[in-house]
Amino acid sequence: RFLQSKKPHYLEHIRKFARKEWPQLAEELLEKLEAQPYSLHKRDAIARLMYDEGRFDSLFQYIVRLQSLDLLQQYGKQWPPERAEEAERLFMEILPGYLNNHLGRKPSQRVREVLENLFEAGMNEVADKLLARFRTDFSARQSLMEELETFHS
The pLDDT of residue 10 is: 78
The pLDDT of residue 14 is: 80
The pLDDT of residue 153 is: 60
Residue 83 CB neighbours (<10 A): 13
Residue type for 122, please? G
The pLDDT of residue 111 is: 95
Give, in degrees to the nearest 5, the angle at Cα 66 between 62 and 57. Answer: 15
In whole angstroms, give the CA distance from residue 108 to residue 151: 13
DSSP 104: S
pTM of model > 0.85: no
In whole angstroms, give the CA distance from residue 91 to residue 95: 6
Integer CA distances (angstroms), 14 to 21, 22, 30, 49, in order: 10, 8, 13, 12
In whole angstroms, give the CA distance from residue 94 to residue 81: 20
* DSSP three-state, residue 79: coil
In whole angstroms, give the CA distance from residue 105 to residue 4: 36
The pLDDT of residue 80 is: 83
Please tell me the total number of residues recorded for the chain in this structure: 153
Residue-wise pLDDT tens for the chain (153 aa)? 677 777 777 777 787 887 888 888 889 989 999 999 999 999 999 999 999 888 999 999 999 999 999 999 888 888 888 888 888 999 999 999 999 999 999 999 999 999 999 999 889 999 999 999 999 999 999 999 999 998 976
